[in-house]
Structure 1
């Protein structure tokens, strides 16, 4: 997921450079914090992540709890920033629609308020604060907000915000002067963020049904989902910007093919013989299956023949290029 996130972000920036579109808030907001939970998971392996607490040394367990405390702060920021990036993208693309611009600002303000409230709740989860990583289970049970309540406060609002962000562009896209298949394709691209919503639901369900109090071993699956969620959001948000990039690549590809075909025609001009197909079969008087050698001549550099209608008018964009064949009996 870390590799995919880096590639998605690099392609996003490359797309902006290739299409000569300036980087804006939607690009800058998607870059930070998303891959930090995954990096923390790698670091936490050295501190006992994936092993039962009973097999982890006390100093490693304190370090693990401290890193988990820091990780949860960055996790919230990763979720918030990709949502803000999507909203900034909506303002950039659909900014002419006043209602979607205003809705983007309103939802953006709600996301910022949510993430600030969560960050404050996480920072001051315990009293005193260092009980979050130094305290034992009994001390945390009496002086800290439970991990389950923290996870619910994280997951439930983010699902609500994701659904709001997903349905916002549907009305605008459907009103565009496009074919139905193009509209459905555009809506499908914007709906990729539904993957993040599904991951949030799975993560919330796992939190509600979990009764394991082993921080290092029992939270492995939850930690994996927590690392995947912001990275998936980053990838989905970046894919929305690849439209002009893919169009530019297609144009470059067509130009390359056209240039190669021009070189081919120049090197095979003057009616040179290009292809020889040998048709072998018993001869007959009707020449239906006669033994013929078919030689196909290549195109010359002559001007194509343009046919006209019976009234002498040339049909619009109608060009007929004739192929010349020489057939002789063997």
Structure 2
């Protein structure tokens, strides 16, 4: 914690403990909306995995559920601190009696943010390991996953060990309290920079495979757009990092600017969870699209087509003449090769054409389509 020098405190106005200037209710409203969206998207993801793709619950699904629960705890803590402990007022208007509790909530919120954010990234990387089949992509994903786990463990240790004893973190404001603390600003800003780097790497990992997919351009754009929502997370993490620099290194009015920093921390956490669910949720939305279109076309796209599973005709009506069948898949892989590709290790399926299996899209191209598949 940065203690303001006497000359800075001398410039502060008289404290107003009765009716201080407040930020407003924007943070509470935004976080309430985000919580509702998180619950909705996580529910759709689980439903799609269990009822539509019949894939069952995977480790990435379990991790994202835990991340969502922890994220809800973060939102509850931030809203509580804003409402009761002055996280939306100037530091000179913060009653001394609330300072200690405010520091306790701050420490708990950092723990919740770190856990939810890290679990979401780990969940996405586990998801990548399921859908990426190129050895190079898998290797990069595994290295990133290992580094992400190390990042989480190290920051967890720093969080618990930054003050000795730990209660000194919030007792530091009590006269006569004894203890020592690390420079909070250094490790918080460093952690923010590393967090942003991980976001960039996670966003970039699948891009090469997605851009080289040999599928219709409109479908390729659809798939790429599902993964491009991660740009929103990168933007939120960048803004949060900026305000962390302000709070920990530039200003002493930590409660006033910390309000914005914690708002963007909550936005980053919840948007990350939503973005992690988007690819799996496409099965749900595609099923309703096909269900609706099947009502308008006799003899095509029945839903479901057979007991124990759901099959879909082409998601794009213009491709009916080219694609022989379309259905949602429980695995996400692309087996590369065509009848003329000459790629070693071709299966019986690839001799018939190029088979693309993804949780978001599965189709089978006939032999007449000369375009080869690219592994994703």
Length-normalised TM-score, structure 1: 0.72
Contact 2:91 2:254 in 1 (8 A): yes
Q: Which has the larger radius of gyration?
A: 1
Correspondent of 1:15 among 35, 48, 65: 48
1:114 and 2:151 correspond: yes
| Cα drift, residue 137 of structure 1 | 8.9
Correspondent of 2:78 among 26, 35, 41: 41
What's the CA shift string for 1:22-56, capped at 9, x where partnerless? 11011111122233221211111212221334444
2:61: which partner in 1? 27
**Residues 263-274 of structure 1 aligned to structure 2 (within 5 Å):** none
1:228: which partner in 2? 267
What's the CA shift string for 1:61-99, capped at 9, x where partnerless? 2111111111101111111111111111111222x3222
2:164: which partner in 1? 127
Cα distance in 2 for partners of 1:34, 1:240 equals 20
1:100: which partner in 2? 137
Cα distance in 1 for partners of 2:176, 2:47 equals 51
Q: Which runs of 4+ in 1 moved over 6 A?
A: 137-140
**Aligned in 2, Cα 1:99/1:149: closer, same or farther, shift over 3 Å?**
same
2:278: which partner in 1? 239
What's the CA shift string for 1:295-323, capped at 9, x where partnerless? xxxxxxxxxxxxxxxxxxxxxxxxxxxxx
2:205: which partner in 1? 168
**Residues 1-330 of structure 1 aligned to structure 2 (within 5 Å):** 1-19=34-52, 20-32=54-66, 33-44=70-81, 45-94=83-132, 96-136=133-173, 143-210=180-247, 211-258=250-297
Report the secondary structure of 1:34's partner residue.
helix
What's the CA shift string for 1:170-218, capped at 9, x where partnerless? 1112232202232233222212111111111111122223433234333
**Aligned in 2, Cα 1:137/1:236: closer, same or farther, shift over 3 Å?**
farther
Cα distance in 2 for partners of 1:18, 1:250 equals 16
| Cα drift, residue 138 of structure 1 | 9.3
Cα distance in 2 for partners of 1:208, 1:154 equals 11
Unaligned runs of 5+ in 2: 1-33, 299-376
**Aligned in 2, Cα 1:18/1:46: closer, same or farther, shift over 3 Å?**
same
Contact 2:196 2:238 in 1 (8 A): yes
Unaligned runs of 5+ in 1: 260-330
Cα distance in 2 for partners of 1:182, 1:243 equals 12
Cα distance in 1 for partners of 2:259, 2:176 equals 23
| Cα drift, residue 113 of structure 1 | 0.4
Please, which moves more after superposition, 43-52 or 24-33?
43-52
CA RMSD after TM alignment: 2.6
Cα distance in 2 for partners of 1:236, 1:53 equals 35
